[in-house]
Chains A and B, each alone.
Chain A
Amino acid sequence: MSVLAAVRPDSWNFPLLVHVLGATVLVGGLVTCASALAFAKGDARLLRLGYWSLVAISLPGYIVMRVGAQWIYSKEHWEDVPDKFVPSWINIGFLVADIGGLLLLVTLIVGGIGVRKLRNGGGGGLLKATLVLSVVLLAAYVVAVWAMAGKPN
């Protein structure tokens, strides 16, 4: 519980707020995307809501979260610590953030093509793929939040 009970230096608090705020918005965008796409049943408005929540909410949230992560990492001087001493919760966080970032990019591209094809009555399959990818991302970020908060090892 020493980590839990620790009071951080004040200079770490704002970068942490930026990181957490970005992460919550990212997750919120993914929940909006997944639920809108899951319940769309071909409704173009909900399909667009699903995709645009990724573009307008999750992507900015991801950028803010990732910038905040690097900022707090630097503030805590983890870059000066040998790799073998870096705790696994930090490695899990970076792994999920970076692979998740790539996956988010793929999801945005797949969804973007799907939404574009909606105009011609197509794109359903691509938007289903977007739904699956957003659920996978959501699950990965839940694991990351658990690791960041519970700090295993």
Chain B
Amino acid sequence: MRFDDWILALHVLSAFSLVAGLVVFWALIVVGRRIDTPGDTLALSPVAKVGSATVGVGMVGTIVFGVWLALSVGNYDIWDGWIIAAIVLWFIGSGLGRQTGKEFLAAPMKAVELQSAGQTGPNEELLALNRTSRGVLFQALTSLVVLLILIDMIWKPGA
């Protein structure tokens, strides 16, 4: 394997890490819809941290190794339409992902607040935060953008 083949392998592994993180968050969204107590909400936090870490590794790895490949591989250039499209989509996905994180962070923050106030029972407001439809919308849009990047990477329109 040449050096660029290793970089390509790392680029693809980063993409897998990114999608794996999105899948973790989808699973947590589904499970979270039934959760209305601070303890159960906070119990999901370690799994959410794994999701955040895999998304983070995936986002950084895809852009760093992707740009490296665009500059290093002879047949491609960084200003190729499909590569520019991928970079633009990466930035859009990054923004949407940050927004998703903000929406879903409200529930554990509320759970901590409730726990420190000694309220450990079911709470309607917490349930509503765990069921945030804005969060689901942002997560769906982030997933759609990642799917579009994958399609762009496979079809390479204009290459």
Contact = CB atoms under 8 A, between A and B. Distances in A.
Interface of A: 1, 4-5, 7, 10, 13, 16-17, 20-21, 23-25, 27-32, 35-36, 39, 43, 45-46, 49, 53, 57, 142, 145-146, 148-152
A24 B16 contact: yes
B151 A151 contact: no
Candidate in B12, B16, B44, B156 with the most chain A CB atoms within 10 angstroms: B16
Contacts of A142: 13, 16
A8 to B, nearest CB: 8
B46 interface: yes
Nearest 7 CB-CB pairings of A with B: A28-B23, A150-B9, A149-B12, A24-B19, A5-B75, A39-B46, A35-B50
Given A24-B150, A46-B47, A148-B12, 6 more contacts: A4-B4, A20-B150, A43-B43, A57-B27, A149-B11, A150-B5
Interface residues of chain B: helix, strand, loop or mixed (majority): helix
Q: Chain A: interface secondary structure?
A: helix
B154 A13 contact: yes
> How large, as a class, is the contact surface on chain B?
35 or more
6 contacts: A1-B5, A4-B69, A13-B155, A28-B22, A31-B23, A45-B40
Interface of B: 1-2, 4-6, 8-9, 11-13, 15-16, 19-24, 27, 31, 40, 43-44, 46-47, 50-51, 54, 69, 73-76, 147, 150-151, 154-156, 159
